[in-house]
Chain A
């Protein structure tokens, strides 16, 4: 199978969906000459740096028959549009009794490790998970990125699509032609016997690397990628934990009220899965600090293979 980058996979998904449905339009603060040439500047909208306005414009156009794909740039900038996200997009369908659909996709980059310091290294997906009313996507491979972006654009609800910055240039196999990944279905990236490691985004790759290393010691890791955080595929995660009896969750957001915490809760509040646990669960998350700039500090703030390995040894002890 051909290999392309995560970024190329996303671009392919967008182009294919714009070709498939002329109601798909884009709104972004950076120009996209390729897209503009292909689809025209009416559908490929270059907007002023007015996040609240264009976040709500996407929502209003969605409620009026279009399928906008709104790019916030970094998730950082979405915070300027919190009214439109929190008070409007996440509530608009339910609050109005389901009388209209709002098929809008909000794209943004996320995560640290890029030496761009506190404001531009955030991983706040749990803030959005908390709202109820938004679907939350967080892919880890080019194939999943493509398939899930296509599903997001076709979904009839507001979707927030997180694109981990450290994954943009990574490559992976992506099927030719139509490739759609359903929202709400986790993927076992590596089957194993001893410990379930649930990784998010970049940390799926890191968990797989640790799995390779520990395999030499005879330790067998099962690496599970939720791929979508709302809805969360709790069944798949629980099934893995019931098999291995041990759970480590790895995420680069701080642990407090995080997706990692939610995953741990979903596992431990299920009686059958709880009884299958053979060790306390472990979260490997970012330190509770704004992500610092200097590389040694940044590395200390974020999870790494050493900390993942330590957590795995702890649940095996």
Chain B
């Protein structure tokens, strides 16, 4: 499916924004300007951006512990995201959530989640609501390869297929669950094979090709909107950096040749789209540089916004516990 130039440029901008946001988060964390854990999405940007490019603003998503990319792809405000990382009151969760619990229900982003597969039942619930409302909304449920080891993965695939829920199960197979290679924890390495077992289509896609991800997600979303049920989209990608850091990034333990192969210009999701767009004459190098410059300015502004925001008042500790 062909996209307009402005759509392609926006896809490129979001890839770059996610990449730079997380690289900046790592530096901010090393400098102890933000708190907690950082789980960088570097290398996997095409999955979130490709899937969300196929969604409508009223569609919903659930995310994971590695959730910054999903937030940005769905349209979250980076100022409020950054303020949350800084633990400030203007953050999405007023400083109560932090990196692993960013949500923006107003844009259908139902939350990052610190528990592997924890968001999957919630995504099914959102899809059930959409089915009952019959308003053509779909839910995209992002999860990693590690989630396939959890009961919630199997339970939700079964129920979603049984009830024909309007869902996209988006598996980000980045080849490692924390420090463990996929083949070391799965008896059957091919995650796509879970789909036929639960009576739904399973499609493997190059998760570093944002346009391929977008087309696959668009087809799955159309199927879901028709009432034909969920699709398992197996996005083959790679976590370019570490699983998580607190004060300092952990040492790299994965093979050098694997890292080199996935970080190459022909495989990295950003340079790959860049070469495609320039090679096809869609945009110029100068135009892409303008986008990169604008992203840097936006991120500088986000940090300034976050630092200008006050810390939450300890007197508000009990606020937001229960709804009226």
Give the B-binding residues of A (Cβ under 8 A).
25, 42-43, 45, 47-48, 50, 52-66, 68, 83-84, 87-88, 92-103, 132-133, 135, 156-157
Contact = CB atoms under 8 A, between A and B. Distances in A.
B121 A94 contact: no
A246 to B, nearest CB: 33
A90 to B, nearest CB: 10
A93 B124 contact: no
A201 B5 CA distance: 66
B128 A60 contact: yes
A253 B322 CA distance: 27
Given A64-B125, A96-B93, 8 more contacts: A59-B121, A94-B96, A95-B93, A96-B92, A97-B96, A99-B92, A100-B103, A133-B321
B320 A94 contact: yes
A97 to B, nearest CB: 4
Contacts of A53: 120-121, 124, 152, 155-156, 158-159
B99 to A, nearest CB: 12
A157 B323 contact: yes
B321 A94 contact: yes
B97 A87 contact: no
A52 B121 contact: yes
Interface string B234-273: 0000000000000000000000000000000000000000
Nearest to B97: A95
Given A48-B158, A157-B323, A60 B124 contact: yes
Nearest to B122: A60
Contacts of B158: 48, 50, 53
Contact of A60 (B115, B123, B319): B123
B122 A56 contact: yes
A63 B126 contact: yes
Contacts of B105: 63, 96, 99-100
Contacts of A96: 92-93, 96-97, 101, 103, 105, 111
A83 B92 CA distance: 23
Given A83-B152, A97-B92, A64 B129 contact: yes
Interface of B: 60, 62, 91-97, 101, 103-106, 110-111, 113-115, 118, 120-130, 132-133, 151-152, 155-156, 158-159, 162-163, 319-324
The CB with the most chain B CB atoms within 10 A, among A42, A63, A87, is that of: A63
B93 A97 contact: yes
A102 to B, nearest CB: 8
A96 B84 CA distance: 10
A287 B320 CA distance: 38
B155 A50 contact: yes
A50 B150 CA distance: 13
A258 B76 CA distance: 43
Most buried by B among A45, A59, A87, A97: A97
Contacts of B127: 60
B155 A48 contact: yes
Contact of B91 (A97, A98, A132): A97
B91 A87 contact: no
Given A95-B97, A97-B320, A135-B322, A63 B155 contact: no
B101 A64 contact: no
A64 B92 contact: no
Given A47-B159, A52-B121, A95-B101, A60 B93 contact: no
Of B110, B129, B151, most A-chain CB atoms within 10 Å: B129
Nearest to B98: A95
A65 B319 CA distance: 22
Residue from A47, A92, A94, A96 with most neighbouring chain B CB atoms (10 Å): A96
B222 to A, nearest CB: 21
B35 to A, nearest CB: 15
Nearest 6 A-B pairs (CB), nearest first?
A60-B125, A56-B121, A98-B320, A64-B129, A97-B93, A53-B155
B36 to A, nearest CB: 13
A156 B320 CA distance: 12
A102 B132 CA distance: 17
A64 B106 CA distance: 11
Contacts of B103: 96, 99-100
B306 to A, nearest CB: 15
A64 B126 CA distance: 6
B27 to A, nearest CB: 26
B159 A54 contact: yes
Contacts of B94: 97-98
A58 B123 CA distance: 10
